Amino acid sequence: MYKKLVCALVLGFSFVSGILLGHYKPELFKIPLSYMKLILVNEDISTYQKSVHRLKNNFDKGTCDGKDQGYSFFVAGHVYENSGGVYNGIYEPFKSNSKLNDCIFMPLGFLLGDVVANASNHEFNILKNDMKSIGNKTHIHISPGNHDVGTGPYSAKRDIYVQNFGETFKYFKYENDLFILLDANLNNWNIIDDQLQMLKNLNSGKNEYNNVFIFSHQVIWVDGENKNLSSLIVNSEEGKAEKLNFWNDVFPVIEDIGGRVFLFAGDVGGFDNKSEFFYDNIQGVDFFATGMGGGKRDNFLFVHVNHNKVNVELVQL
């Protein structure tokens, strides 16, 4: 109500003062019109809306081009349907998406956790069959979630996952770019021990990367005290430590690990809360959260790397 009143007062004052001074210009109202319209219709601009706006300002959408133009990859979080029923594989609106399957050159893809409802050989076999149907010879990597490996270093879920997919955190290089997949389930959303040492080793100065893409299931960089992040609502806080070490220990290591750094998390989108997508640039690093399964504002991302330029496309399902 307060914001609506302020908008009304500003518009009224501008109108009256313009007439009294003899230089009323209607075109001045066009500048803040879209923003004010959002406020008048809905007092609280959602995390989703603000993120879409920031994305459009900071990135071109790009296109899936041939190999000579660069390469593309997809990023998808929480890819099982949050219906509470029987697991039927990857979320149907995603795996049947025409843009996903028509992409000309998409050598890589990333599933950001909660790829099954409950870790088992049966569900992982369904998942692996679905993964084969996505793209054209696309090598799909997983950053596991709590549904996939459980919480902590020792669990039956983790054992089953490792039997099916191998290591839960890793890195690899493609072209002159670096890809890092983290397992935030090991230590209550904190990146410590071997994972933190891996990041430090990668930032030893021996290699120069154009772009560094870092993936996790949990939103390990969430921070209730940061005004840019406080509105982000995650699907679950299962296993989350009271204090997270990202900003003190991890961020100083990765912020200059390459020419440009991108972080992606996938534990959003399972519920209708207008926080199904997040984007912001914080201290020169691009932060994304993307997910689906809740049936509202489901989405995934295309990242198009055209030579040294990175384009990011939000695909709404």
pLDDT in tens, 23-39: 444 433 433 443 344 44
Beta bridge partner(s), residue 174: 177
Residue that wins the pLDDT comparison between 137 and 189:
189
Q: So where are the chain's domains? A: 2-41, 60-316
pLDDT tops 60 at residue 43: no
Smallest CA-to-CA distance from 220 within 113, 124, 141, 296 is with 113
What pLDDT score was predicted for residue 31? Answer: 35
d(CA 186, CA 168): 9
**Sequence-ordered list of residues with C-beta below 8 angstroms from that of 139, at least 6 positions apart, any chain:** 107, 108, 109
Task: Using CB atoms within 10 Å of the CB of residue 220, give its burial: 0 to 12 exposed, 13 to 18 middle, 19+ buried.
Answer: buried
Among candidate residues 243, 239, 265, the one with its CA nearest the CA of residue 155: 239
Q: Which range has the worst mean pLDDT, 37-46, 264-273, 301-310?
A: 37-46
* pLDDT tens profile 184-218: 999 999 999 999 999 999 998 877 899 999 999 99
pLDDT at 37: 42
pLDDT higher than threshold 70 for residue 68: yes
Higher pLDDT, 136 or 51: 51
The C-alpha angle 183, 169, 205, rounded to 5 degrees, equals: 115
pLDDT band at 228 (very low <50, low <70, confident <90, very high): confident
Residue 36 belongs to what H/E stretch?
A: helix 33-41
Percentage with pLDDT > 70 across the chain: 86
pLDDT of residue 40: 43
Q: Tens digit of pLDDT for each residue in 93-130? A: 999 999 998 998 999 999 999 999 999 999 999 999 99
Confidence (pLDDT) at 213: 98
Percent of the chain scored above 90 by pLDDT? Answer: 76
- Answer yes or no: are the C-beta atoms of 112 and 266 closer than 8 Å: yes
Return the CATH number of the domain spanning residue range 60-316. 3.60.21.10
Provide CB contacts within 8 A for 57, sequence distance 6+. none
- What's the pLDDT at 255? 95
DSSP classification of residue 257: S
What does the pLDDT look like over 153-189, one tens digit per residue? 999 999 999 999 999 999 999 999 999 999 999 999 9
